[in-house]
Amino acid sequence: MLEANEYTRITQKLYSKSLILESPTEFHPVLHFYFIDALAHIDFTLGILAYNYMSPRNIMSMEYMRWRIDEEKIGERAYFPGFINWLKEKHREKFDELPLLWSGIYDRDDPAQYRSFRIVLNPDDKKAIPAEYLSTFIDEFFDPRFIKQLYQTSSLARLFDEYAKSRSA
């Protein structure tokens, strides 16, 4: 491991979070997948910036990230990117409540993307993503108000089901 830097401190912040007071088995399956997916992209981005690229930690993360590419295409998961854009158009207040990482990555009008599994806010910027952004992403995904929206009975989950039903019809 390299000497501790700002990214290792953010990694510690991520790993200090817990869902112990929640019931992930009651989360909407698609929202849960993309919640874990976002955390994996945050973790991968932090790992690449905090540790040697070929560290066992990063190699294991790369293997997981390769696996999840096919998983996002299964069933209703494939509707998620379109759902985010539908929210932006039809339910702007819900879109504005989403974590910045979700709204940035999946909004067709935003340049943010996952590149080689790393979070890239602007493809033209060659600098590493600032640690403060990653810290903000973590805070947003673990905000209790957002976590409540992951449950199957939440308004966000109901909107996703409505959107998915309209796509599969």
For the chain, what is the mean pLDDT?
93
Q: How far apart are CA 108 and CA 106, in angstroms?
A: 6
Q: What per-residue confidence (pLDDT) applies to 2?
A: 44
Tell me whether residue 89 is in a domain.
Answer: yes
* Residues 1 and 55 sit within 8 Å (Cβ to Cβ): yes
Confidence of residue 53 (pLDDT cuts 50, 70, 90): confident
Compute CA distances 6 → 47, 97, 116, 134, 168, whole Å.
Answer: 12, 27, 22, 11, 45
Compute CA distances 126 → 122, 123, 130, whole Å.
Answer: 8, 7, 12
Confidence of residue 27 (pLDDT cuts 50, 70, 90): very high
CB atoms within 10 A of CB 121: 17
For the chain, how many structural domains are there in total? 1
Tell me whether residue 104 is in a domain.
Answer: yes
**Could you tell me the end-to-end alpha-carbon distance of the chain, in angstroms, rounded to an integer?**
51
Q: What per-residue confidence (pLDDT) applies to 1?
A: 42
For the segment 54-79, what is each residue's pLDDT rounded down to a tens digit? 999 889 999 988 998 899 999 999 99
Q: What is the enclosing helix (H) or strand (E) of 21? A: none
Q: How far apart are CA 118 and CA 106, in angstroms?
A: 14
For the segment 111-165, what is each residue's pLDDT rounded down to a tens digit? 999 988 899 999 998 888 999 999 999 999 999 999 999 999 999 999 999 999 9
Confidence of residue 168 (pLDDT cuts 50, 70, 90): confident
Tell me whether residue 3 is in a domain.
Answer: no
Is the confidence at residue 20, as pLDDT, over 50? yes
Domain limits at 70? 27-168
Tell me whether residue 17 is in a domain.
Answer: no
Is the confidence at residue 22, as pLDDT, over 90? yes
Report the predicted TM-score, pTM, of the whole model to 2 decimal places. 0.92
Q: How far apart are CA 144 and CA 115, in angstroms?
A: 29
Residue range 10-26: mean pLDDT, rounded: 95
Number of Cα atoms under 13 Å in the Cβ half of residue 151 = 10
Tell me whether residue 16 is in a domain.
Answer: no
Tell me whether residue 19 is in a domain.
Answer: no
